[in-house]
Each structure stands twice: as structure tokens, then as C-alpha cells.
Amino acid sequence: MSTACFIPIKSNSERVPGKNFRVLNGKKLYEYIIEHSIAADVFNSIFIDTNSDEIKEFAQNLGCNVIERRKELAENTANGNDLLNYHFEQFPNFDYYFQLFATAPYLQPSSIKTCVETLTNSINFDSCFTAVRHQGFFWLNNTSINYRPCILPRSQDMAPVIEETTGLYGMTRTALEKYRCRIGAKPYIYFVSKFEAVDINTEDDLKIAEHIGKIYWKY
């Protein structure tokens, strides 16, 4: 059984200029997920897909493999499925494929380990992803999606809405070949804390992450 981890980290960012190089609680954003993926100690190979010389050097010094980011996959039109399929085509001989993101700096090695071990030891799941539960009053396109306003439930009694944290995804090779996307037909959903679910996409996200990190490490 072989496992591969692919971490895409590009040098450019549209919404937050230089995002992956921004310092978060004394450490550059891209450093967190690389170090955490190594500390989880569950991957046969870790690949960093990047167009940054700085990130390449950092990754190689830690023993990771480096993939030169293709120009078209550095564009804002490229998504996680595009990247995972490209990586699968380049390295088709692993049994399990995992995708982690630098925008999830607080995803802990223990959670990464649990996700990998659950998927690789299961005959019921073909994929996995990290998520959080929300029990609240949600609307989409001016329509309530998880409750009826005329019958107002207690929030704790409502069916939770599940949100992907976009921190970690995993697929069996068979499922990836069949579905060509990062979630299969029978996913294992691993629920993380709001701390681990921090996702950096805006300047406000960075400010919140800085604050949350200081509180978490204080205790």
C-alpha cells in the first residue's frame, strides 16, 4: 500500500497578494502545512507543486519532492480537481492520493494521520475530506435550506449543514480513476475543530487566524 500527498502552493495570489509568504504567528503560511504533513508520518511521498524558488528550497531541505507548477495550473481558473488529476497522471502508481492546502495552516498532524489511516484501512470509504458542522439558520438564493421559517426550531435541534474546510482531501486510486475529482461516491467526513478549520482566503482571514492562533497556543 502506497500513499502520496500533493500540496499545491503557487507564488501568486489574486485576493491576498503574496498570501502564501505572509507571516502568521512568526511563521510563513506555506511552512505550516508542509511541516504538518511530514509530522503526520503517514505518507510514502510528499510532493510540493510550486512555481516559487523559495518554497522549492524549503521543501527540498525537508526531504519533500518538488513539482514545477505548470503555467496553466497557476491561473485562477484552475481548481483542485485539475491539480489532482494532473498529479495522478504524472504519478499513477500510488494506491492513495491526498491533497493538502497551505491555506489550512492549523490542520494538525494528528488529524492528517487519522484521515489517512481511516481511508487506507477502510473497505467502505473511497475518499475523505475535512469538514465542520454548522447548526444554524441557512439560506440559499432567498430560500431557507435547512428549516421552515413558519415552524421555528431550536438551533440545537436542526439538521447540521456540513461545510468542507478545503484543508485535506483523499482518494483511492480506483475512485480517482473513475470519478476524476477529489471526492468519491462514499466519502469519510472527518470533522475538525474551528481552529483547525481556519482557511486563509482574505486579509480578514489572516487577521482572524493570527488572533485565533495566539489564543489557542496560549492555552
182-211: pLDDT as tens digits: 999 999 999 999 999 999 999 999 999 998
**Is the pLDDT confidence value at 12 over 90?**
no
CATH number of 3-130+164-218: 3.90.550.10
Cβ atoms within 10 Å, residue 202: 12
Q: What angle do CA 45, 48, 49 make, to 5 degrees?
A: 130
As a whole number of angstroms, the distance between CA 143 and CA 132 comes to 22
Please list, residue by residue across 72-102, b when 16 or more beta carbons sit within 10 angstroms of its beta carbon and e when fewer do: ebeeeebebebbbebbbeeeeebebbbbbbb
Span 156-183, average pLDDT: 94
In this structure, of 31-45, 131-145, 147-161, 184-198, the range with the lowest mean pLDDT score is: 147-161
DSSP 70: P
Q: What is the pTM assigned to this prediction?
A: 0.94
Span 35-55, average pLDDT: 97
Q: Give how far the C-alpha of residue 4 lies from the chain's centroid of Cα atoms, to the nearest Å.
A: 14
Q: Read off the C-alpha cell for 27.
A: 511563521
To the nearest whole percent, how much of the chain has pLDDT over 70? 99
Determine the pLDDT at residue 217: 66
